[in-house]
């Protein structure tokens, strides 16, 4: 589950790799993203223009809120890229920051 935002290209650089992993193992891997852009950001247009072909949900951020983004806070996100890996029961199996880490996590979970 990549947490991503249009203003953080680091979070977007992983997406082609994630899509490739999902295509290689469609029965085992599902990519579901969470967009953290603020309200009013043209996210739907961005998704369409960049062919982001995975499910992505909005968790709007607010610069004025005490906690700018509840979803990011819940997972302890401090920087991007940030990948939350959930197991088949929906439990957090790992927090990864690179594709190399993610591949190791997926291998461990599939063994």
Q: What's the 3-state SS for the chain? A: CEEECCCCHHHHHCHHHHHHHHHHCCCCCCCEEEECCECCCCHHHHHHHCCCCCEEEECCECCCCCCCCHHHHHHCCCCCCEEEEECCCCCEEEEECCHHHHHHHHHHHHC
Q: In this predicted model, which residue has the larger pLDDT, 110 or 6?
A: 6
- Compute how many other C-beta atoms are within 10 angstroms of the C-beta atom of residue 37: 19
Q: Is residue 59 part of a domain?
A: yes
Query: How many domains does the chain divide into?
Result: 1
pLDDT in tens, 29-88: 899 999 999 999 999 999 999 888 888 999 999 999 999 999 999 999 989 999 999 998
CATH code for position 13 = 3.40.30.10
Q: Is residue 44 part of a domain?
A: yes
| Cα–Cα–Cα angle for 101, 51, 26, rounded to 5 degrees | 50
CB 110 within 8 A of CB 90: no
Range(s) of the domain holding residue 11: 2-104
Structure pTM? 0.87
Q: Is residue 14 part of a domain?
A: yes
Q: Is residue 110 part of a domain?
A: no
Q: Is residue 111 part of a domain?
A: no
Phi, psi of 107 (to 5 degrees): -60, -45
Q: Is residue 17 part of a domain?
A: yes
């Amino acid at each position: 589950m990549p947490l991503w935002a249009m203003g953080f290209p680091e979070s977007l650089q992983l997406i082609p790799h994630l899509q490739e992993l999902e295509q290689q193992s469609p029965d085992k891997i599902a990519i579901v993203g969470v967009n953290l852009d603020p309200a009013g950001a043209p996210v739907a247009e961005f998704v369409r223009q960049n062919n982001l072909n995975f499910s992505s949900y909005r968790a709007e951020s607010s610069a004025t809120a005490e906690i700018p983004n509840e979803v990011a806070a819940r997972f302890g996100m401090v920087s991007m890229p940030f990948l939350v890996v959930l197991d088949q029961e929906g439990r957090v199996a790992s927090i990864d920051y690179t594709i190399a880490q993610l591949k190791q996590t997926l291998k461990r979970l599939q063994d």
